[in-house]
Amino acid sequence: MHNMKIEQIYTGCLAQGAYYIESNGEVAIIDPLREVQPYIEKAENNGAKIKYIFETHFHADFVSGHLDLSKKTGAPIIYGPMANPEFECIIAQDEQEFKLGNVTLKVLHTPGHTMESTCYLFLDENGTPHSLFSGDTLFLGDVGRPDLAQKAADMTQEQLAGMLYDSLMNKIMPLPNEVMVYPAHGAGSACGKNMMKETMDSLGHQKEMNYALNQTSKENFIAAVTDGLTPPPAYFPMNVAMNKKGYSSIDDVMTTGLRALSAEEFETAAESTDAVILDTRNAGVFAQGFVPRSINIGLDGQFAPWVGAMVVDVKQPILLVTESGKEEETLIRLSRVGFDVVLGYLNGGIDAWKNAGKEVDQVNRISADQFKSELTVGSSYVLDVRKESEYRAEHVDEAYNKPLDYINEWFPEMTQLNEEFYLHCAGGYRSMIAASYLKARGIHNFKEIEGGFKSIAEAGVSKTDFVCQSKLTKA
């Protein structure tokens, strides 16, 4: 097919797929991320013009770039039926077609994940279905969770799951097997529970292997897709609101956030506001010295979703400590999940803080071998902050499972614990988040294990694969 291209722009941290589609000098962007300059430059470099901005639904896990992109390009924003945002846009009809160069994007309204959820079917120049931009309706190996839009839709998750079943059976299953599926998310996103590592696949293969498309009845489908849903991250409703109501321009957010603060200014800002000090360095480096009460969420992991889970309120002021040169990347990644109130960053990083003679805190991080030599099964208190499913598969003998997601609920128990305890996750990323969080709340009597469960298993610590009950209240 001549001069047309479909490009998936995949962002690992959010497990999110945005799409750049071009035909004959005209471009459509689907579900853009917050920083829109890359899309604009891509079109310019190809001598093309952005004609449409398509949104598959009101996203909960990230703030989309639709408003900034529309302002900067003049391209209209398009939503499917039942969307009611507070800004100007085109609310498309079901089956409405939008011409893009020699190709067509056809609206398929597929309610269920949310009421306005819509897929866009790409028809080639002969009108043949070529690919499906499926948003959060159909994932690879899964479908969108039906519990995020309950309040807004005034329905139960079972009712939404029933709608999703009808959408999939009536709109998507009849499409030809060779259609390529391009979803809005992949493995690691909290928008589904069972996603494949791949980021694109044929519809035919999904019809064969996706458990949700292979249920024998609507009742079975509803039971299967609502089974085992963990509560969604608390920041989700705030991102939905920003996507629906509007938000500050990314350019303004960057300008205010990129304020370089001296150690003195940083300390004053921390004391005079209720700002969270967010340290985005690697866990091992953070452990060796940090500004007291900092929360460590490393840029090298699923940074944005964990900030959402730990800080929750997008209006919470934030002060940054980063590796030198990472300030801008940190701001962009924070803005993607709507955390726009960054007051500035520590100029010169932790070294500037130390050189100014300020107090430094540390985490007592030990090796898995040291843990093995100190561990007395039955009397040592071991805290495993992985997900319940990871813990169930295998864990340290008599360890307690307190998932990081629920730390706000369980940390008060730790203040009652007089003995020293051990803390670990799978690889050390989440346990350092937990360690910093506990220390910020005055809990210091623990050792955190480097390399997490992987290193613990390699060190030959005795493990078990059945679930033991917690002697504290259940997480």
427 lies in some domain: yes
Tokens of 296: 């460590």
Quote the number of domains for the chain.
3
Which helix or strand (DSSP H or E) is residue 23 part of?
Answer: strand 16-23
Nearest to 376 by CA among 341, 421, 342, 314: 421
- Give, in order, the Cα–Cα distances in Å from 15 to each of 185, 326, 373: 5, 21, 39
434 lies in some domain: yes
Q: Are residues 191 and 253 in the same domain?
A: no
CATH number, domain with residue 216: 3.60.15.10
Q: Are residues 119 and 148 in the same domain?
A: yes
175 lies in some domain: yes
Q: Are residues 393 and 339 in the same domain?
A: no
Rounded CA separation 448/301 (Å)? 18
Q: Are residues 212 and 284 in the same domain?
A: no
Q: Are residues 347 and 384 in the same domain?
A: no
Query: Domain span at residue 291?
Result: 249-355
Q: Are residues 94 and 182 in the same domain?
A: yes
pLDDT in tens, 374-403: 998 778 899 999 999 899 999 999 899 999
Q: Which of 355, 387, 415 is the last residue of a domain?
A: 355
Q: Which of 174, 206, 237 is the last residue of a domain?
A: 237
User: Rounded to 5 degrees, what angle do the CA atoms 138, 141, 142 make?
Assistant: 50
Rounded CA separation 228/431 (Å)? 24
Question: How does DSSP assign 48-74, residue by residue?
Answer: -EEEEEE-SS--SSS--SHHHHHHHH-
Q: Are residues 95 and 123 in the same domain?
A: yes
407 lies in some domain: yes
Rounded CA separation 160/145 (Å)? 9
Q: Could you list the mean pLDDT of each consecutive 10-residue stretch along the chain, which spans 475 residues?
A: 83 93 98 96 97 98 97 98 96 98 98 97 97 97 93 90 98 98 91 85 97 96 93 91 95 94 98 96 97 97 92 94 96 96 97 97 97 87 94 93 93 89 97 98 96 95 66 39
471 lies in some domain: no
Q: Are residues 346 and 442 in the same domain?
A: no
157 lies in some domain: yes
- Give the pLDDT confidence score for residue 231 in this predicted structure: 84
pTM for the model: 0.90
Q: Are residues 399 and 329 in the same domain?
A: no
Residue whose token pair is 């298993």? 457
Q: Are residues 93 and 49 in the same domain?
A: yes
243 lies in some domain: no
Task: Find all residues with CB under 8 Å of 426, minimum gap 6, and list them.
Answer: 386, 390, 452, 453, 454
Give 431's DSSP letter: H
- Ramachandran region of residue 259, left (φ > 0), alpha (ψ -120 to 50) or beta? beta
- Strand partners for 78: 54, 90
Q: Are residues 351 and 371 in the same domain?
A: no
Q: Are residues 12 and 123 in the same domain?
A: yes
Tokens of 65: 């770039």
472 lies in some domain: no
Cα 420–chain centre separation: 33
CATH number, domain with residue 379: 3.40.250.10
pLDDT in tens, 35-76: 999 999 999 999 999 999 999 999 999 999 999 999 999 999
Q: Which of 296, 323, 355 is the last residue of a domain?
A: 355
Rounded CA separation 378/80 (Å)? 57
- Give the pLDDT confidence score for residue 1 in this predicted structure: 47
